[in-house]
Amino acid sequence: MLRPSWGHIPEAFMAMMTVEDLGEADDVEVIARLVTVADRDLVDVGCGAGGLARALAARGARVVAVEPDPVQAATNRAAEASEGVRFVEAPGEALPLADGVADGVIFGYSMHHVPAAALDVALGDAIRVLRPRGFLLVLEPMPEGAFYDLVKPFHDEARDYARVNRALARVVGPKFARHRRAFATDSLAFDDFDTFVADMAGTSYTEIERDAVSADPVRARFDAGRADDGYRFAMRLRADLYQGLRKDI
């Protein structure tokens, strides 16, 4: 397994970056606008319940959906089979795949959950499984917007997002020739407060306490998001797409 230990990287070896705003789009739309997924072998690292993996498979991809949390991984294995998706249990820093077998590796809102001590290794392992013309795509929420303000009292991950940014610059930037950064705004909808609480506190891999989510200050922020069709909250997201894997570092 590749275990990178980068020191100082000359600026000449950093990926050439372009920046754009895609406007209103959810995670699947963002991915589809950045890369072609049909008939490609993709790895979804930290797949959670597999929603993104299934959506990519519906667009024609073959997806290995990797989940490190044993409870969620067991749920995934017990779920009805999804065409084009293979669920496996493994940590991001030890992907159960051979070298050079994937057209793309995607971290969909999952990289900030990778333990700090394992983050560089996980990025290195993602690069290891890529084919020479493969891509690495990292989607992360941004610490701004209505949804971030809603969850901040009980689940503020701003420091984790910053840690991811530093790791991408340190480990990934030098390994690729091109870096495309895109921003977008998604709209997250909930029928009512109980649904929101169940969604936030109902996963084994975040360990969010139900009492923290249902606290009065959170309910007040939730009520402020009332819309004609329920409750809606804008979430800003950032996508970092790396292509052109280099062989000179």
> Does 168 map to a domain?
yes
Q: Which pLDDT value is given to residue 114?
A: 93
Q: Which pLDDT value is given to residue 3?
A: 35
Q: Give me the percent of the chain exceeding a pLDDT of 90.
A: 88
Question: Which whole number is the average pLDDT over 182-189?
Answer: 96
CATH number for the domain including 186?
3.40.50.150
> Does 84 map to a domain?
yes
Segments forming the whole domain that contains residue 123: 13-245
The residue type at 49: A
pLDDT at residue 107 greater than cutoff 50: yes
Q: Which pLDDT value is given to residue 13?
A: 58
pLDDT at residue 60 greater than cutoff 60: yes
At residue 71, the 3 state secondary structure works out as helix
Q: Per mean pLDDT, which range of 13-17, 128-132, 191-195, 203-207 is the poorest?
A: 13-17
CA distances from 83 to 3, 54, 77, 205, 225 (A): 33, 8, 13, 25, 36
Question: Which whole number is the average pLDDT over 65-89?
Answer: 95
Question: Is the pLDDT higher at 15 or at 162?
Answer: 162
> Does 198 map to a domain?
yes
What's the Rg (C-alpha) of the chain? 18
Give pLDDT tens digits for 29-50.
999 999 999 999 999 999 999 9
Give pLDDT tens digits for 137-151.
999 999 999 999 999
pLDDT band at 9 (very low <50, low <70, confident <90, very high): very low
Give pLDDT tens digits for 186-236.
999 999 999 999 999 988 888 899 999 999 999 999 999 999 889 999 999
**CA–CA separation, 135 and 137 (whole Å):** 6
> Does 3 map to a domain?
no
- 64 contact partners, CB below 8 Å, separation of at least 6: 41, 42, 43, 44, 86, 88, 97, 102
Question: Which whole number is the average pLDDT over 155-159?
Answer: 94
DSSP character string of 119-153: HHHHHHHHHHTEEEEEEEEEEEE-S-SHHHHHHTT
Structure tokens at 73: 């991984």
At residue 63, the 3 state secondary structure works out as strand
pLDDT at residue 247 greater than cutoff 80: no
Q: Looking at the 3D structure of the chain, how many domains does it have? A: 1
Question: Which whole number is the average pLDDT over 2-8?
Answer: 38
Question: Which whole number is the average pLDDT over 152-161?
Answer: 94
Q: Which pLDDT value is given to residue 6?
A: 36
> Does 95 map to a domain?
yes
> Does 2 map to a domain?
no
> Does 6 map to a domain?
no
Q: Which pLDDT value is given to residue 2?
A: 36
- Average model confidence (pLDDT) across the chain: 92
pLDDT at residue 99 greater than cutoff 90: yes
> Does 232 map to a domain?
yes
At residue 246, the 3 state secondary structure works out as coil
| CA angle (34, 37, 41) in 5-degree steps | 130
Question: Is the pLDDT higher at 205 or at 124?
Answer: 124
